[in-house]
Structures are given as C-alpha cells and as structure tokens.
Amino acid sequence: MTAPLLPEPGSAPWLSIVGIGEDGRAGLSPAAAAALDGAAVIYGGRRHLALAAPLTGEGRPWPSPITDAYPGILARRGQPTCLLATGDPFHFGIGAEIARLVPASEIRAFPQPSAFSLAAARLGWSLPETACLTLHGRDLLGIVPHLQPGARLLALSWDDTTPGAVASLLAERGLGRSRLIVLEAMGGPRERVRDGTADGFYLTGIAALNTLAVEVLAEPGARILSLSPGLDDAWFENDGQLTKAEIRAVTLAALRPRAGEMLWDLGAGSGSISIEWCLRHPANRAVAVERRPDRAERIARNAKALGVGARVRIVGGASLEALPALPPAQAIFVGGGVAEPGLLAACRAALAPDGRCVANAVTLEGEAALLAALTESGGALRRLSVAHAVPVGGLTGWRPAMPITQWVWTRS
C-alpha cells in the first residue's frame, strides 16, 4: 500500500466550505455546524448568511464580482475561515473555483445534497440518466445541444424569468409539448413544485431561486441537432463560404475530436467546423480565425444559435499573423488561405505530438500547396467529390459540386 501524502508544514486545514440549504442551520451536520461556528470570518451570499444565523464570527457578504473577495480569503491562510455555498459547493458551485487557489489539503468541505439531487428525488428521476446543467450566468442557448427527443434535463435557473424563456425556446423549435417542472426553494418551508407545457407556459410568481426540469417531447419537423457530424447546411447562416455537410462530416472525422481539446479553424468562413467540433463534446473549444469582419460576425451568430457560443472564440485577421497569439491546439483545420506561403508549415510546427492538421482546397493553387506539404512532411492526400440529384427538365440528373482535395497529417 502506498503511504498517504502528508500535508506540508503550515498546510493544515483552515478553510471550511459549508453547503447550506433552505432549512438553514437545522440541515447542517454537527461537523459542519462546528466548522461554521469555529470560523472567525464567514463569507457567503446575503441569503446564505441569513440562513446560517446566528453567526459567531464576522459575516462578509460576497462582493460583485465575487473574485474581489479572493485576495482577502487568501490573506487569512492559517486562520479559521468559512465559505457558505448552496447545497454541494463542488457541483456548479464555488468549491472548484476556490480549490484552484487553495490546496485541497487546506480545505474541509461539508457538502449537502445539490439542487440536482433534490430535484431528482422529488421527481423520481435517475441522475445518471439526466443531463445536469446550469443556466445561471450562462447563455440560454447553451441548452440547445441537450434538446434531444425523450431527454430529461435539470437546469439551475438564472432567475425567475428562466423557465418562461426556456418554454419559448422549446416552442419555437417544435418542442412545445415538452413538460417543464419548476422546483422552487427546495428543502425549505417555501418549497413549491409546479409544472406545465412549453406551449402556452402559464406559471407566474416564480421564485428567483428555482431549478428547472424538462422532459423533451418532439413534434414532427422539430429542430433537433443530430448527434453525428455533418449537420444540414441550412443550420448555418452563410454567404456561400461554407464547408458543405458531406465534406464537413469527412473533415470532422479526419480531425478526430477528443474530449477537452482545442481546435484552430483557420479561414473559418461560417464557422461550421468550429461549431461542429464543439458539439462533439461539451469540453471542446475552438478558435475561429476569419479575415472578413462580416463573416466573423456571422460565425458568432451561428455559434450562439447552436448553443456553443461561449466555446468558440473568434479572432479577426489573417491566419498566419494570428497564430503566435493563439492558445495551444490539438487539431488545426485550414479551410481558407491554404496557398498562403508558410501557413501549412506554421501549422505543422505549432502542433504537439499526436496533433492533427487537416487542410481542404478547391483551387489548383491550393492543391499545389497540399501536394508540396505531402512531399515535405508526408501524411495522406485524397480527393473528395459529391454530386446531388437535381431536376433536368422533367427528368433527374446529377450535379457535381466542386471536388475537394484534402490533406491529413498527424505529428509523430
């Protein structure tokens, strides 16, 4: 058995993070209550401080922004200090943020059931089969990728307007029969559970502190994001500068997305590759580099509409000039400017071992650049061609799209 790691001198626990519910002190364990009462300074929201009253230490409400309190907390290292949070501080709470600043060996945490656990218990839902997310301080459209037929969602609301806004979003997307359950002030004397459907959502007087449960029911023709790459082109606002669905699916497969990775999308056009990269996993991120301001704005609109706006960073300007300031990437897609001298070489140099670079070209000049890259560094070169059936008079014939030459390279 491996010997346990011992805290360094001076790193004994001094910071307590106490989860508190709507039942206040009555719901605290003896150990949590002792940690609260033993702290000389207690940080928390005004609601938390009121729930924990009477306090034996000095109560300090969180400032805005909350990060302004962090220097004061760190300055108290070694002195008994307590942070109050709702429910489980490590489930969309302050716990993880503080743990990036204070070593875990110096923290004692006392979690209570999260809002998700309480809601699942009220509804009889299995948490492992339910998507748990937060809309607090987040773009409402972040819920879009989760809107799958038959899905169950639990979402922390931003405020009392969130349930109605989600209901409108569902109705607009052909999901009006979906059931919404609003759970307010769970675990306390003001607890209330009400439900309705997205169509004609009628609940009023909703408490600011609420959790929203959604059972997704789709009508024929509902706007549902496919789980496979290669979304229909109609999902993307574009001016014609768009990697078409069939080519996009092959390109995403060549990029081989993995959880938590960063993509550079160079010459991003409408942003379809960046967006679909982020849709593959909720931890994936992308930087879309686009020279034209109108297209950069269009990328932002597309990313927001498809629920990944917070994870697609848009950089204006030429790709080669932008590269030095970009965060490290595990994959690079070059969709525009392939023939720019030095661009493909710079992309290869930027990747760490096992990094992937995929470049598409439609012009002879771009094709020549890809052939040169193949000759210099290896990889694989392939030609992709797609044709669509179209009316020809009263009959039907094939109309081929411009063929795509694609170079795929992995750094060894």
How far is the C-alpha of 181 from the C-alpha of 160, rounded, in Å?
13
For the segment 296-312, the average pLDDT, to the nearest whole number, is 97
In this predicted structure, the answer to whether residue 110 has a pLDDT above a threshold of 60 is yes
Report, in angstroms and rounded to the nearest whole number, the Rg of the chain calculated over CA atoms: 26
For the segment 245-258, the average pLDDT, to the nearest whole number, is 98
CA quadruple 148, 154, 159, 163: dihedral sign:
positive
In this predicted structure, the answer to whether residue 6 has a pLDDT above a threshold of 70 is no
For the segment 277-294, the average pLDDT, to the nearest whole number, is 97
Task: For the chain, list the domains and their CATH numbers.
Answer: 15-112 (3.40.1010.10), 116-215 (3.30.950.10), 233-410 (3.40.50.150)
State residue 273's pLDDT score: 98
pLDDT band at 3; cut points 50, 70, 90: very low
For the segment 236-240, the average pLDDT, to the nearest whole number, is 95
Hey, what are 291's tokens?
A: 């020279």
pTM higher than the cut 0.85 = yes
In this predicted structure, the answer to whether residue 221 has a pLDDT above a threshold of 90 is yes
Cβ pair 84, 42 in contact under 8 A: yes
How far is the C-alpha of 192 from the C-alpha of 253, rounded, in Å?
47
User: What is the full DSSP assignment across 269-289?
Assistant: TT-HHHHHHHHT-TT-EEEEE
State residue 8's pLDDT score: 52
Helix intervals (H) in 260-363: 272-279, 293-305, 319-322, 343-350
High-pLDDT (> 90) share of the chain, %: 96
In this predicted structure, the answer to whether residue 213 has a pLDDT above a threshold of 70 is yes
State residue 325's pLDDT score: 96
pLDDT band at 253; cut points 50, 70, 90: very high
State residue 9's pLDDT score: 45
State residue 7's pLDDT score: 41
How far is the C-alpha of 157 from the C-alpha of 210, rounded, in Å?
6
Letter string b/e over residues 273-284, b meaning 16 or more CB atoms within 10 A of that residue's CB: bbbbbbbbebeb
State residue 295's pLDDT score: 97
Cβ pair 136, 205 in contact under 8 A: no
In this predicted structure, the answer to whether residue 5 has a pLDDT above a threshold of 80 is no
Q: Is the peptide bond before 328 cis (omega within 30 degrees of 0)?
A: no
